[in-house]
Structure 1
C-alpha cells in the first residue's frame, strides 16, 4: 500500500527525492543569477541606457529600473500561484525558468541608448518587468515544492538549502561580471563585455530546463488531486476569506516586509554605498561582497536547522530588530573603514550650500544652479547642509573655509580636493577585514530571517491554496519594500543632502516588521502541512 503523506513526513527524504530537490534548487539559483546580473551592473547600465549629462539622475533611473522588476513580482505571484495550485508545481516551474531565460538573454542583446535612443530604456524596463514576473512565480513554487518533499521535523533544514540559492545566484553573478571585467580593458567592457554574463545564462538555462523535465510532481499535490481536493479558485480562497486573509496580511507586514529590507540592505545597498558613495573600486567591492557571501553561506542552513528545534518566529523577528538597531552604526563604520579620508574630510570641512531655488528632480537634468551643485555633491558622496541665499548675493557653496560662487563643477571639485576630499577611496587605507565583516554582519541578519522563512511560509497556509497564498505577500513585502530599497534610500539621501539619511527607511520598516511579528505571527514549526 502507498505510503501516506503523514507517514512520509516523518521519514528521511530518499536519495531520489533529494536529487529532485537539488534539481529544483538549481533552477532557483539560475533565476536569481539572472535577476542579480543587473544589480551587479547597475552603475554600468546608468551610462549605457539612459541620457548622459547627469550622473546622479542616470544612476537613480538605473536603480528605479532595477526596482521595477520587483514591483511586478506580485502579478507573477498571482498568475503562477494560481497555476501552481490548479495544475501542479512541476509545470509552473518550467514556465518560470523559460520566461526568465528569455528576458535575460534579451537584455544581453539590447542596443544601447546611443544607438536607439529612448527605446533603449523602454525595452530595458520591459525586459526587467518580464524577469520580475517570472521570479514572482519561482520563489513560492520552489518553497512549496521543497517543503512538501521534506520530513516534518526537518523542514527548516531542508528548505534552507533552497534559501541559499539567492546568495549563490548573487555570488555567481558577481563572479561572472568580475571575470568579464578582468579579462578585458574598461573600454571593451563598456562596449560589449557587459553582455557576456547575460549571454552565458543560455547554457545555464539549457541545463536547468533539462533538470526540471526530470522533476516529479509534489506528493502533496498528487494526493490532493487524486482525492479531488484541489481548489477551484485559489485566488478567491486565499484573499476573499478572512480566516486566510488575516495570515496573508500578518505575513506581509512582518516577515515579508522584514526580509525585504534586510535583503535590500545587505545584498544591494551596502554594495552601492561602498561603490557610489565611498568611491571604492567596483571590483574591490565585488570581491568584498563575494567573501562575505561565502562566509555567511553556511548560516542559512544553521538557522534553518535551529528553527526546527526552537521555532522559526523569534529567529526571524530578532533579525529585524538587529537590523533596526545597528544599520546606522554599521554604515558609519563602513565609511570609517572603507574611506577614512572622506570621513575626515566631512568632519574637518563641513559643506554648506547657500541657495534658494533648489528643486528635487529624479529623472530630469538639473536646471537651477542649486540643482547642479546638489547633483555634483551627491555624486561625489559628500553630505551637505543647505541655508537660504543671502540677500544681494548669488548662489555659493562653503567647503570648510573655502567659498565657491556659482555652480561651476571644476571650481567645486578643486575646493573639495583642497579641503581633503578624494575622488576615489585610497586602496592602501581600506581596512578590508573590517569592511568584509560589516558586510557579513548585514548578510547574517538575512540568513537569520531568510533561512527559516520558506518553511514558515509553507506551514502558515493550507495545502490547497498554499502556492497562491504565500507567493503574493512574499513578493509584495520583499519586492516592494526591499526591491525598491536602493532607489528609495538613494533618493532620500539626495533629497536631504545626507548620505546616511535614507537608511531610516529600512530601519522604520524593520521596526514595524518586528512589532507586527512579535504580536501576531504564530509559531508554525510543528504543524502538519499535508492538509
Structure 2
C-alpha cells in the first residue's frame, strides 16, 4: 500500500531520528495536562448545570433537564467525532490531531462564557449553548484516544497500564479543578454577583490553560510506533472503512463497548454527577458541603488510577476491571440509600446541615465509588488501545470509547433524571429509580467481560 501523502512539515516527523525522540516524561506531562484541560472544559457545564439552566433558559419549566439534555448532546456526537479525528489520527498522526482537538475545545469553552443570557437574547442563548457543546463533543472525541495511544506507543510494554494511568486520572483531577474554580469564584463574590456575571469566569479561565498546554504540546514529535508504520508506507488509506471491514474487528468493538467501557462511564458519571445532583437536589445539602464531600472523596482516591493501572500490567487488565465493576454494583445502591437516610431521613424540602461524623461517612462513600471507578478506568485506556492494530488504532479505539464512554455511559445523568421524573413508583423508592440505568450497564459489562472479551496486556502494539 502506498504511503499517504503529507505536507513537508508532517513528513519530517515520519522518521524519528535520535535527536527527535520524545522524552517520556515530557510525553506524559504534555499529554496529561492537555487532556486534563479538555476534561475541565467538558465537565464544567455539568458542574454548573443549575446556574446555566437559570441563565440560558426562560423562567419556569423543567430547565434543569433541558440543560442536561444539551449537555448530553456532547456525548451523543462523540462517536461521529471519533471517526473524523480517528481518520486524521491514523492517516496524518497522533500529535497534530490532538493539537487541533485542544484548540477546538478551548475556543468553544471560552465562547460559552460569552453567551448572552436568555433575558438578553431569548432563544439564541440555548441554541448557542447547544452549538458550542457539540463542538466540545467533537473535540474530546479526538483528544482522549489520541493522548492514550500517544503515551502507550512510547511506553515499555510492561508499563503501559501505569503510564496511561496518568491520562486516566485527568478526568477526576479535572472535576476537582472545576469544583475548586467554581467554589473559589463563588467565595470571592456575592451570590447576586455570581449569578449576574461571575458564572462566566470559570469558562473564560480555560483560555489561559489551553494556550499554555498548546505551547507545551508543540514541542512533541510523532510517536515512534506510528512513525515507523508511516515510514514503511503501511498506514491505512481508509481507516474508517477498514475499522468496520471485518467481523473480527466489529466483534472486538462490541465487546469493548459493552464489556467494560460503558459500565466504566456509568460508574464515573454516577460518582461525579449523579452524586452531586443527589446531594444538592434530593438530600438538600448546601452547595459548599456537597462540593467538599465530592472533592475530598475523589481526591483521596486519585492515586489509585496509577496503582490499578500498574497492577493490570502484572496480572492482566480483566482481573482488575472486573472486580471494579462488581464493587461499583454493590456500592452504588448502598451509597445513595445512606445519603438519604443519614442526610435527610424525613425528606424535607429545606436545606439540611449534617454533622462532622456524617460528612466523613459521606466522603468515605464517595471514596469507595471512586475507588471502583479507578479499578475500571485505570487500566481501561491501555485495555482498549491494545485490542486494535496500529494502522486503525486511533479510529477503532476512538469509536469504542466515544460510543461506550460517550453516547451510552455519558448519557447517564440525563437518563437518570428523565427516569426519576417520568416513572411513577412508590415514595420510598422514587429517589433511587434513576439508578436502574447505570446499574443495568454495569451488569451487562460484567457478563460481557467474563464471556466475550479477550485479555490484552501482552499484545504487541507493533503488530
The answer to whether structure 1 residue 119 and structure 2 residue 124 are counterparts is: yes
CA contact (8 A) 2:328 2:373 kept: no
The answer to whether structure 1 residue 267 and structure 2 residue 272 are counterparts is: yes
> C-alpha distance in 1, partners of 2:352/2:234?
61
Paired position in structure 2 for 1:339: 344
Map 1:146-295; keep pairs closer than 5 Å: 146-295=151-300
> C-alpha distance in 1, partners of 2:81/2:400?
12
Paired position in structure 2 for 1:17: 24
CA contact (8 A) 1:338 1:435 kept: no
Question: Which of the numbers 30, 49, 52 marks the counterpart of 1:45?
Answer: 52
Paired position in structure 1 for 2:415: 488
> C-alpha distance in 2, partners of 1:82/1:228?
16
Shift of 1:108: 0.3
SS at match of 1:460: coil
SS at match of 1:469: helix
SS at match of 2:431: coil
User: TM-score under structure 1 normalisation?
Assistant: 0.81
Shift of 1:325: 3.1
| Gap change, CA 1:468 and 1:49, over 3 Å in 2 | same
Shift of 1:322: 2.3
Shift of 1:340: 3.4
Paired position in structure 2 for 1:144: 149
> C-alpha distance in 1, partners of 2:71/2:403?
16
> C-alpha distance in 1, partners of 2:353/2:175?
26
Shift of 1:324: 2.3
CA contact (8 A) 1:459 1:529 kept: yes
Map 1:93-104; keep pairs closer than 5 Å: 93-104=98-109
Shift of 1:111: 0.4
Paired position in structure 2 for 1:475: 402
Paired position in structure 2 for 1:442: 369
Paired position in structure 2 for 1:356: none
> C-alpha distance in 1, partners of 2:145/2:321?
18
> C-alpha distance in 2, partners of 1:106/1:423?
35
Paired position in structure 1 for 2:71: 66
> C-alpha distance in 1, partners of 2:27/2:309?
20
Q: Which runs of 5+ in 1 are unaligned?
A: 1-7, 9-13, 343-420
SS at match of 1:483: coil
CA contact (8 A) 2:296 2:363 kept: yes
Name the stretch that deviates more: 31-40 or 423-432.
Answer: 423-432
| Gap change, CA 1:114 and 1:337, over 3 Å in 2 | same
> C-alpha distance in 2, partners of 1:252/1:62?
27
Paired position in structure 1 for 2:431: 499
Shift of 1:427: 3.7
Shift of 1:17: 2.3
Question: Which of the numbers 500, 507, 518 marks the counterpart of 2:450?
Answer: 518
For residues 7-57 of structure 1, the C-alpha deviation after alignment (integer angstroms, 9 at most, x for no partner) is x9xxxxx98222122111110011001111111101111111112123xx1
Paired position in structure 1 for 2:427: none
CA contact (8 A) 1:20 1:216 kept: no
Shift of 1:327: 1.9
CA RMSD of aligned residues (A): 1.5
Paired position in structure 2 for 1:368: none
Name the stretch that deviates more: 421-430 or 500-509.
Answer: 421-430
Greater CA radius of gyration, 1 or 2?
1
Name the stretch that deviates more: 493-502 or 213-222.
Answer: 493-502
Q: Which runs of 5+ in 2 are unaligned?
A: 1-15, 425-429
The answer to whether structure 1 residue 432 and structure 2 residue 359 are counterparts is: yes
> C-alpha distance in 1, partners of 2:136/2:36?
14
CA contact (8 A) 1:339 1:429 kept: no
> C-alpha distance in 2, partners of 1:334/1:481?
26
> C-alpha distance in 2, partners of 1:326/1:169?
23
CA contact (8 A) 1:137 1:471 kept: yes
CA contact (8 A) 2:286 2:353 kept: no
Shift of 1:428: 4.1
The answer to whether structure 1 residue 466 and structure 2 residue 398 are counterparts is: no
Shift of 1:338: 2.5
Question: Which of the numbers 18, 23, 38 marks the counterpart of 1:31?
Answer: 38
Shift of 1:287: 1.2
Map 1:348-387; keep pairs closer than 5 Å: none
The answer to whether structure 1 residue 134 and structure 2 residue 139 are counterparts is: yes
Shift of 1:319: 1.8
For residues 393-426 of structure 1, the C-alpha deviation after alignment (integer angstroms, 9 at most, x for no partner) is xxxxxxxxxxxxxxxxxxxxxxxxxxxx341112
Deviating beyond 4 angstroms after TM superposition, the runs of 4 or more aligned structure 1 residues are none
Paired residues, what number? 439
> C-alpha distance in 2, partners of 1:116/1:494?
29
Shift of 1:493: 1.1
